[in-house]
Amino acid sequence: MQLNSVFPYKMEKKQEELRHLTELVLGISVKTPKDFEMLQQQILLKTGQQLSLSTLKRFWGYVDKDNVDYKVRVTTLDILAVFVGFQNWVSFCQTNLEEGDESGNLAYRNLYLKELSVGSHVIIRWMPDRIVTMRYEGDDLLTVVESIGSKLRPGDTCHCQHIVENTPLTLFSLVRDGELIGNYICGKEHGVAFSVRK
């Protein structure tokens, strides 16, 4: 891949950033076999693409740590980039390889719903003009209170553990009028912004 050959040093940093952002989106640090299984399931759920456990473990350095010849496939990087909200690996690199930005630090705000008080309101915004207000019911359960420009409706319930700003948000097990609808992705292309009102 051209980006890898032109910017080998930066590509290592970009891969590290991709691992870090993947963990932010997942909501956990990936360290154990169970973590890798959860990551594999969430990637399949969010992207429709399958990555093997061995591929994920190699990319995280969990196995083959001393294999200096290991090179990650671009298809793997593409799938992970889509998982964290980018079009592909090249898009991820171009978005983050900004002039003067050598730090590699990611400043994505996080919200872990378990830290909220029951009854708190979470306001989610995404392009072009979607605004959804949800009430936290406890145990990762949210109820839609108000929906502007979105297909979500007041009274819908869903589950969510973790929100990362500027990345897509998946609401799991959406229920409407007692019927399970499935999962719902907010901000698929440009990610979401959030605020909390108590």
Note the pTM of the prediction, 2 decimals.
0.55
Q: 39: alpha, beta or left, given left = phi > 0 and alpha = psi -120 to 50?
A: alpha
Looking at per-residue pLDDT, the higher value among 191 and 35 belongs to 35
Candidate ranges 10-24, 28-42, 133-147, 175-189; pick with highest mean pLDDT: 133-147
Percent of the chain with pLDDT over 70: 84
What is the 3-state secondary structure of 2-30? Answer: HHHHHCHHHHHHHHHHHHHHHHHHHCCCC
- Identify the pLDDT of residue 95: 63
Q: What are 35-93's pLDDT values in tens digits?
A: 999 999 989 988 889 999 999 999 998 887 556 556 889 999 999 988 887 778 887 78
Pairwise CA distance, residues 143 & 195, whole Å? 16
**Exposure letters 33-70 (e unless 16+ CB within 10 A, then b):** eebbeebbebbeebeeeebeeebbbbbbebeeeeeeee
* Averaged confidence pLDDT in the chain: 83
Residue, of 14 and 66, whose pLDDT is higher: 14
Is pLDDT at 128 greater than 50 in this prediction?
Answer: yes
pLDDT, mean of residues 152-165 = 92
pLDDT at position 2 is: 44
In whole angstroms, give the CA distance from residue 31 to residue 68: 21
Contact of 169 with 160, CB cutoff 8 Å: yes
Spell out the residues 6+ positions from residue 128 whose beta carbon is closer than 8 angstroms to its own.
Answer: 149
Strand order in 141-148's β-sheet? 179-186, 169-176, 157-159, 141-148, 130-138, 121-126, 193-197
Count CA within 13 A, CB hemisphere, residue 37. 3
Task: Identify the pLDDT of residue 62.
Answer: 86
Nearest Cα to Cα of residue 169 among 194, 145, 151, 147: 194
* Per-residue pLDDT at 65: 56
Q: Tell me phi and psi for residue 147, to 5 degrees.
A: -140, 120
pLDDT at 97 (0 to 100): 41
Q: Is the pLDDT of residue 94 over 80?
A: no
Contact (Cβ atoms closer than 8 angstroms) between residue 167 and residue 21: yes
